[in-house]
Amino acid sequence: MEEINLLKETLKKGMVQKYNNLTLEEKNLLKNKKYVENYNSIIGNLPYTNCEKCKNKGHIMVIDEEDATRHYIKKCSCMAERESIERFKRSGLEPLRQKYTFSKFNRYNEKTKKLYEKAKEFLENKNEKNWFFIGGQVGSGKTHLCTAMSLEFLKDNQVKFMEWVKESTTLKSLVLDDINYTRELGKLLYVDVLYIDDFFKGGINKADLRLAFEIINYRYNNDLITIISSEKSINEILEIDEAIGSRIYEKSYNFTFEIEKDEELNYRLRERG
């Protein structure tokens, strides 16, 4: 036992001796290297994926190439994946991600083929900041196409999925609660791409019109891409409220579509089959 302790003691002394023999610069280099190693061994707790490189901290410490006594923090490559998953979660589209892709969109006649082509064209020209409007009878065809487009946008934009009935009800209930109302409305106003599903579904009262105008007008004035599906045609929306309808029509001029009742029914039947 005595001997072992003595050995340890000697070894320790040897190390100190060795360290003391280093020049100041060598000491600094060694210190920096140890500091970076220690820092990079700390375990973080970021979700979604397991990264060996940053140990789930999202960043790594790197020794400066020009001055090895210094270091800096660098974002880890795993953050692209984490941020993309985070965008999906915030968008509200996560549950639809597998189901409504472009490749699964059923192009069984001229109309659906054209819709598919126009949706692709819309994405290719996203710098033009057009809007996309598709109206017509209840069914999955509209939602499918609009979701597929939104998923494409999500690859490098913030996207928000708004189910009109659900979210307009929530917002209207917050009207007397300034802070929460502004915060919730802000999510719809400022996001890069807003997708409104089933716009103006259900009864429409004054509060609905006020809310719709607030959203549509802000996005119109700020050139923010908006995708709208509705059971109503653009003409019906114009009749309900001209200020809202005319803004949608103007922005989605090249991308306004209507699905007739029979075509829509067809799509659903074919999709099930």
Q: Which residues bind Zn ion (CB under 5 A)?
A: 51, 53-54, 76, 78
Q: How far apart are CA 100 and CA 154, in angstroms?
A: 14
Residue 49 CB, nearest approach to Zn ion (Å): 8
Q: Radius of gyration over alpha carbons of the chain, in Å?
A: 29
Cα 9 from Cα 2, distance rounded (Å): 11
Nearer CB in complex with Zn ion: 53/210: 53
Nearer to Zn ion, 60 or 162 (CB): 60
Q: Least distance in Å: CB of 223 to Zn ion?
A: 35
- Shortest Cβ distance from residue 41 to Zn ion (Å)? 14
Nearer to Zn ion, 78 or 244 (CB): 78
The torsion angle over the Cα atoms of residues 209, 211, 212 and 213, rounded to 10 degrees, is: 80
The least distance separating Zn ion from the CB of residue 54, rounded to whole angstroms, comes to: 3
In the chain, the amino acid numbered 23 is: T
Q: How far is the CB of 151 from Zn ion (least distance, A)?
A: 25
Nearer to Zn ion, 60 or 211 (CB): 60
Cβ 209 vs Cβ 241: under 8 Å: yes
Residue whose CB is less far from Zn ion, 78 or 146 = 78
Return all residues near 73 (Cβ < 8 A) that are at least 6 apart: 59, 60, 61, 62
Q: In the structure encoding, which two tokens stand for residue 200, read together?
A: 């103006």
**Shortest distance, position 53 Cβ to Zn ion, whole Å:** 5
48 dihedral zone (left: phi>0; alpha: psi -120 to 50; beta): left
Minimum CB distance to Zn ion smaller for 78 or for 216: 78
Torsion angle, CA of 203/207/209/212, rounded to 10 degrees? -100
CB of 80 to Zn ion, least distance (A): 10
Quick one: 22 or 80, whose CB is closer to Zn ion? 80
Task: Report the C-alpha gap between 140 and 265 in whole angstroms.
Answer: 9
Cα 273-92-102 angle, rounded to 5 deg = 40
